[in-house]
Amino acid sequence: MLLWSWGANSHGQLGLGTVSEQVDKPTVVNTEFLCANSIKQISCGGGHTLLVDSAEKLFSCGWNSKRQVGENETNEFERIWPLSGITFTNIACGWDFSCGVTNSQLLLVWGSNSNGQLGLPKEHFPEPQKPVRLQVNACAVSMGLRHTAIINSKGDVWVTGCGKHGQLGLGKDILSSDRFQQVPKIGRISHVACGQNHTISWSSEEHALYVWGDNRHGQLLLGAEKFKKIFVPQKIDIDVKRNVKKLLSGWTNALLWLENGELLTWGRNNYGQLGTDEPFVGKIVRVKLPGDRQVKDVALGSEHTICLATDNTLWAWGWNEHANTGTDGGDCVSFPTRVPLDIDTNTVITNIYAGGASNFIITNKDQTKDETNVTTVNNVLEQS
């Protein structure tokens, strides 16, 4: 297994052992720190990164201004030792705060609590905050710029943090919260994603979106001129009857990856983050990879996208000021563009991750190809 990273590295968030403005192309990360031989999940914040290995041990690197890394600021992945006795099944990063879900579906939070985004009463838990375990049931979690949303085992959504743009969905009278509160008047939710100042969710039972928060760039699929802010959830039927594999959000754009491989995206497009050079606002764009390639996985940063195709090629588009896309496309990459990778034909990309202006991918040797090659060589030798 090899771990690769590229993009912004101003705080050492790429785990490469150095600090730099950017890393232009995918570069191998030293993985001697791992307790296991594989990685389970990576989450990227504004300038920090969390990683869980297959032994469910937690590591971090990068920016630590609010203790969002957990201990000391480091430009290489290091174990978060105060959390060494806990097994994590899920992790998430906000701008300068972090969380982890334990194997008993309890939530641990740490980092900035300036807006109550950790769900901790600010008068008792000033920032920066060391890890605290909440008695909150969390099956899924997403963090934005200053707010957090979780889904519990019942499919309810609970939120905390800044709500001045409506991103809490609790109405015009509740513009902030430092405790998790349940979002009313929504169905059973299967996916949730926090943007910069908005929240989107998907109900698999209803095949419908529920959206709330900032809509100035059409990221809620409502008329931006008429509905700049939405303070209570609005249900939107986008005529999608297929199952959803992923619901993702950047700062001001969103993406649905459907079970048939389709990518639906909408919202702001000032950097080409919708995969087109058209100035779409409040409309759905269907992104297609060149050559009718099919999607194997997709990940969103704040304003860029990386996408893995089933033929083992990697594609990217959107904001590229810090080499986020790993291409030579200038500051904006408006269409899916192939990311050059220095890998051989027997190496496959197995996982991709993005956040802020950074990216990580995992590659492994394809054992089936190796076995095929050995068989072919043996057959040639026998025939000769």
Residues 6+ apart with CB under 8 A from 149: 141, 142, 143, 157, 158, 159, 183, 192, 194, 199, 201
User: Which band of pLDDT confidence, cut at 50, 70 and 90, is reported for residue 72?
Assistant: confident
Instruction: Pull the structure tokens for residue 144.
Output: 């934005």
Chain-centroid distance of CA 217 in Å reads 20
Side chain identity, residue 119: G
Cα 358 to its chain centre, rounded Å, is: 10
Span 370-379, average pLDDT: 46
For 13, 17, 23, 334, the CA distances from 303, given in Å and listed in that order, are: 17, 25, 17, 12
Summarised one tens digit per residue, pLDDT across range 246-305 is: 999 999 999 999 999 999 999 999 999 999 998 877 899 999 999 999 999 999 999 999
Beta-bridge mates of residue 143: 148
Do 162 and 176 form a contact (C-beta atoms < 8 A)?
Answer: yes
pLDDT of residue 377: 39
Side by side, which strands form the sheet with 191-194?
191-194, 198-203, 208-214, 229-236
Q: pTM for this one? A: 0.93
Beta strands in 10-47, from DSSP E residues, in sequence order: 20-29, 39-44
CA distance 178 to 188: 24
Checking 82-90 for CB contacts under 8 A at 24+ apart, the result is: 82/130, 82/131, 83/58, 83/108, 83/131, 84/57, 86/58, 87/56, 87/57, 88/52, 88/56, 88/57, 88/58, 89/52, 89/56, 90/41, 90/138, 90/140, 90/141
Per-residue pLDDT at 22 exceeds 60: yes
Q: What is the pLDDT of residue 368?
A: 67
The confidence band for 375, taking pLDDT boundaries of 50, 70 and 90, is very low
Q: What is the dihedral of CA 53, 54, 56, 62, to 10 degrees?
A: 10
Q: Residue 168 and residue 117: Cα distance in Å, rounded?
A: 11
The per-residue pLDDT for 127 is 83
Residue 382 has pLDDT above 70, yes or no: no
What percentage of the chain carries pLDDT values higher than 90?
89
What's the pLDDT score for residue 37?
87
Query: In the block, which residue shows the tokens 């025939």?
Result: 383
Indicate the residue type of 88.
F
CATH top class, domain 2-383: mainly beta
Q: What is the pLDDT of residue 369?
A: 58
| Predicted confidence (pLDDT) per residue in 103-131, tens digit | 999 999 999 999 999 999 999 998 889 99
DSSP 152: -
Query: What's the mean pLDDT when you consider all of the chain?
Result: 93
253-258 and 263-267 strand pairing? antiparallel
Please count the CA atoms within 13 angstroms of the CA of 186 that sit on its side-chain side: 34
Cis bond upstream, residue 128 (ω within 30): yes
Averaged pLDDT for residues 5-9:
98
Q: How far apart are the first and last CA of the chain?
A: 36
